[in-house]
Amino acid sequence: MKITTQKIIFGALVTVFLICISLNGKAIAQENTFASVPEHLRVRLVERLQLLVDYQRNRQWSNHYDLLVSDITDKINKENYVKEQERLNAKKLSDVLIGFKPQTAAYVIGAPYDVLIKGCAEFQERNRIVKLQATVEAYQEKGDWYFTRVSADVPIDGNAPPCSSNTEQAAKPSSDCFSKP
């Protein structure tokens, strides 16, 4: 079978078209998650949330600290924060974030936070990987977005709820998930 230049070009165009459709679907899903956030604030929120998750996952504590809300940074300086995080990780006293898939974002005027982001997170917990419901709060400060850490939702009884069966898939690393590529 002879492959012509036209067939190669046609195949390449079909591939590009399919990739564009796929990426557009992911963008629409992400846009729907953050639809309650005013459009002019949304892109920057998602960019900085991605950085927060990347820094937390890769244990880049100095960079992570720079994205934390002032309620946290007013209580501990950067040097002590970095030391404390490194100490907790060395003693395996904190779970390691692997990925976070935002599922809802509630923009609320007058709440203690500006945006409450809930989703499914994947954590390395000792020798196993768990998928748990997680939350991160976003605040507008100094003209930009600042956050709390991505943390598992732990109720009073101490049992963190797993992601539901339809959200469990969402925590898996993928290009539309805030996790390793």
When divided into structural domains, the chain yields a total of 1
Tell me the per-residue pLDDT of 37-90, one tens digit each, with 9 for 90 and over. Answer: 999 999 999 999 999 999 999 999 999 999 999 999 999 999 999 999 999 888
Q: Given this model, what pLDDT does residue 126 score?
A: 76
Q: Per the domain annotation, does 15 fall within a domain? A: no
Q: Per the domain annotation, does 9 fall within a domain? A: no
Q: Per the domain annotation, does 161 fall within a domain? A: yes
- Give me the residues paired with residue 131 across strands: 122
Residue 171 reports pLDDT greater than 50: no
pTM attached to this predicted model: 0.73
Over range 112-134, report the average pLDDT: 89
Q: Per the domain annotation, does 138 fall within a domain? A: yes
Burial classification of residue 167, based on how many CB atoms lie within 10 Å of its CB (0-12 exposed, 13-18 middle, 19 or more buried): middle
Q: Given this model, what pLDDT does residue 124 score?
A: 87
Let me know: does 151 contact 135? Beta carbons within 8 Å: yes
Start-to-end C-alpha separation, the chain: 37
Q: Per the domain annotation, does 10 fall within a domain? A: no
Tell me the per-residue pLDDT of 85-121, one tens digit each, with 9 for 90 and over. Answer: 999 888 776 778 999 999 999 998 777 789 999 999 9
Q: Per the domain annotation, does 26 fall within a domain? A: no
Q: Which domain holds residue 47?
A: 34-179
The CATH number covering residue 104 comes to: 3.10.450.100
Q: Per the domain annotation, does 8 fall within a domain? A: no
Residue 181 reports pLDDT greater than 70: no
Q: Per the domain annotation, does 137 fall within a domain? A: yes
CA distance readout (Å), 87 to 57, 81, 99: 16, 10, 22
